[in-house]
Structure 1
Amino acid sequence: MMNRPTFSERLFDFGNVIFLTLLMVLTIYPVLYVAFASVSDAGKLMAYSGFLWKPLGFSLDAYKSVFANPMIARGYANTMLIVVGGLTLNIILTSFGAYALSRKSLAYRKPIMLAIVFTMFFSGGLIPLYLTVKNVGLSNSLLALIIPQAINTFNLILMKTAFEAIPDALEESAKIDGANDFVILFRIILPLSMPVIAVMLLYYGVSHWNSWFYAMIFLQERAMYPLQLILREILLQGEASSMASGASSDDLAKLSATLKYATIIVATVPILCVYPFLQKYFVKGALIGAVKG
């Protein structure tokens, strides 16, 4: 027979529910605010102040202006190239590195691991990175946003720990059957590490999708700008005029009130749609990669 919870336990549970509910509201409200503002009437939104709990009227003019801008489509295309190419390189190189470092037979394993961990705390800085990218001929190229970010040290350690948790007996039996390291990695290790792979896809994918700083540093041609850099221009440099050509000054001022919110939604929705499909693997994959079995 189960013991009934005491008053203090019930009070603690109630406090947790209240705290988590408030935390959920604080997390969700900014997203709802942006969504409501993006479809609100621009004139009403400009005259309104305070909390926004529902759209003020209804208008899709901001979204029409966003999708009428050719740079949005170009930014989406560039970002998708960066995400797809970057993820492919990230997963392949991180898997190779994690597999090598997880092998107990690797010579100088500990010094190599120490040198890798060292990079998490100390780096050369932005200027050496810029000079390196420029001297190898990657400047003003989308490759400058992919190759220097090929391996993240934290993700490498996470995947290495997950590979170490796989029983050695599986590798030994595969070697008896004549399997080499590539067969072991792609036929045994990776299929058994799909939760960790999902976590890597999420970590690297979000990083590539949200990246704008290195694009601002390395890219000179505006046609190569990723979506987030286009978004930055709209939000910080007032490029509403280029997205609403032909509008009067009053209409442009009103449209700019909702334009930035519509742009945020357009740039954010794709990654939000991907997350639910990976979320079920997230906790399991992060736990496997963080705790050595």
Structure 2
Amino acid sequence: MRESLLDAIRRGTTLIGDGGMGTELQRAGLEPGGCGDAWNLSHPAEVQAIQRRYVEAGSQIILTNTFGTNQFVLSRYGLEDQVTGIARAGAINARAAAGTHAFVLGDIGPCGGFLEPLGDITERELEGTWRSAIQAMLEEGVDGIIFETMTALEEITLGIRVARELGAPAIVASISYDPVRGGGYRTMMGVSPAEGARACAEAGAHIVGANCGRAEPEEFIAIARELRSATDRPLMLQPNAGQPSLVGDAIVYPRDPQSLAPALMELARHAAVVGGCCGTTPAHIAAFRDAHQ
């Protein structure tokens, strides 16, 4: 029987995650503003090729291309009735790309709105759409579920509960934190890393972490220390390749593979899994792998 993700983490060696998906899809031909998740059905070969490049670069964990696979995000494209199909295809694509070389996490991003009373999304609606996506991905053999780029505790803890009820073998809870004036880090909803880690661990997450946000890669060290102060769960860290700027019509991230690798190496001292988020590419992961080895 294949080793589980949690067993691999318990061995104590930092695992290498993957990097950004959206920018890679655009390089493959996705139009800006297009629905990247729908490519699981319409362009499976291209999705698998991107994920395979991450595996070849050294990723030991890859994510499904399902960040926005919920009825609220997909409704912007008239695809709200395709949640199950896109999620299932996303898991199939990632499993095909990973083969026996990498674990696969089913990716769940924010719902794209706010739960009541701040917004008009009900807990029942959100639970239903996530249940459909998570169930489909688990049926196709993902090794766990990751909730990432979250900012609201009520949203991520609801997701953790659904994943637990469906029997996910591993649950990762990753929140986006930004530097705040006066020091420290908070989500846009005012959640600190300690508060986030504590709430996610208590809800049943096996792994807690941080990704994306406006923090520089080096600032993730301070975030990791605060996460660790609140929980003994393994950590997963995925910084961006720096903060983007608009150059002409292009969004450019300042950290090339060689300049990001030392920061990722430092994060590996604090985390069980280290990868990248926006602006990172297979080349960034390969540079981290080479330094890590």
**Greater RCO, CA 8 A, separation 6+:** 1
Q: TM exceeds 0.5?
A: no
TM-score category, normalised to shorter length: under 0.3
Larger radius of gyration: 1
TM-score by length of 2: 0.24
